[in-house]
Amino acid sequence: MTPFGSFPERNIEGLARDAGVQCLEAAPCDPRRVDALYVGNFAGPSFTGRNHLAPWIASGLGLEGVPAMRVEAACASSGAAFYQAWAAVAGGVHDCALVIGVEQMSTATTEETGEILAAAGDVEREAVHGATFPALFGLIAQRYLHEHGLDRECLAAVAVKNHANGALNPRAHMRKPITREKALEARMIADPLGLYDCSLISDGAAAILIAAEPWTDNPVRVRGVGMASDRLALDQKPDITTFPAVRKAAEKAYAASGVSPTDVSFAELHDCFTVAELIAAEDLGFFSPGQAAPATLAGETALAGRLPINSSGGLKSKGHPVGATGVAQIAECFWQLRGEAGKRQVADPRIGLTQNLGGSGATAVVGVFSL
């Protein structure tokens, strides 16, 4: 994984190549053993003017001749790329596949970025009326707080926790601890979401190698994967305080892995906005509806808590180059399981879970991992 941050002087192929080279060297794996390349990328053409990314990246890694494809599923793009690569390897189509997630967002202004991201929602029903993702998740947060009799304190608790974790992550975009007061007093973006409730606009790349048989010591096993979809527009959902795609993807991942929510030791969840972490923790079965908030306030999801969530700092602090996020979550899971997470290492990491979300819940990918 490259550092996440703002790198307008780079190009998107260089970011992807850096992550791919690091991954192949760490394995170690001769590029000639790689049978396929899957690139998760949301909006390379819009942000950088570059299209046909996969063969360009493959060439830079010395992978000419292998199948190379770009996978797009909004902010779940690299989660979806991982899902496809895993299915191909598990099904015997490939013996070894490289998955790279990449995005370069700093090439656009904040206003342009908002418009590009809004295209991952329902353009005719939402974006055409000016509904950006902060606005949509602001509506989700309002309803969630109202339904469960909560206030902004629980959102601030998520932000404070994830910033504390991100400060321990040398690859994080914003290594900056914040206080409860700073989170609550920050300027409002989309009521009730303030500045520190929103993820960062980031550049970066992450890569993982999936093989049918391990050739190194201490490999991480993919126990189960699930992917599901749902409607794009909020007004078409009967309840905007839950994401059915996450629930369905989780059901598939739990069934395939033979584990239950109570077996999970730690999780990397898609906190594009602080409320998204709370809803995901409930949809995944870690807490009943409305209970993720008090659990977070009580420290249960902190690094030293009962169920550490977003040890990496999450999208909130680690950063959110949208096409790279799903694979970056898996990379964090890998390091945690192998005891290689440094100062942010969780205790007794037996089973890890990742949850990658696209749009306002239209796509979800859930993975379960162990040694």
> Rg of the chain's alpha carbons, rounded to an integer?
19
State residue 371's pLDDT score.
Answer: 95
Backbone dihedral angles phi then psi of residue 104, each to the nearest 5 degrees = -125, 105
Active-site residue (options: 75, 154, 272, 333): 75
Q: Name residues whose C-beta falls within 8 Å of residue 129's C-beta, 6 or more positions apart in sequence.
A: none
CA distance 342 to 331: 14
Residues of the chain above pLDDT 70, percent: 100
- Cβ atoms 16, 102 nearer than 8 A: yes
List, for residues 156-193, the tens digit of each pLDDT value: 999 999 999 999 999 999 999 999 999 999 999 999 99
**pLDDT digits over 301-318, tens only?**
999 999 999 999 999 999
Residue 238 contacts residue 244 (beta carbons within 8 Å): no
- pLDDT score recorded for residue 216: 81
Per-residue confidence (pLDDT) for residue 217, from 0 to 100: 82
Question: With pLDDT > 90 as the criterion, what percentage of the chain qualifies?
Answer: 98
Domain positions in the chain are 12-108+200-370
Q: What is the mean pLDDT of the chain?
A: 97
Q: Which of 23, 173, 320, 333 is catalytic?
A: 320
Query: Which tokens is 192 given?
Result: 């009730």
Residue pointed to by tokens 């079965």: 285
* Alpha helix (H) residue ranges in the chain: 12-26, 44-48, 53-60, 77-90, 110-118, 133-148, 153-166, 180-185, 244-257, 274-283, 292-297, 314-317, 325-337
23 assigned to active site: no
Q: Are strands 266-268 and 351-358 parallel, antiparallel or unpaired?
A: parallel
- For residues 86-105, give the mean pLDDT: 97
What CA–CA distance (Å, rounded) separates 222 from 371?
A: 9
289-304 pLDDT per residue, tens: 999 999 999 999 999 9
Given a cut of 90, whether residue 214 has pLDDT beyond it is no
What single DSSP character describes residue 4?
P
- Given a cut of 90, is residue 218 above it in pLDDT? no
Q: How many residues does the chain have?
A: 371
Q: What is the pLDDT of residues 51-74, one digit of tens each?
A: 999 999 999 999 989 999 999 999
Third-level CATH fold of 12-108+200-370: Peroxisomal Thiolase; Chain A, domain 1 (3.40.47)
User: What pairing do the DSSP bridges indicate for beta strands 188-190 and 203-211?
Assistant: unpaired
Dump pLDDT digits (tens) for 223-252: 999 999 999 999 999 999 999 999 999 999
Average pLDDT over residues 119-143: 95
**pLDDT on residue 44:** 96
Peptide bond into 8 cis (omega under 30): no
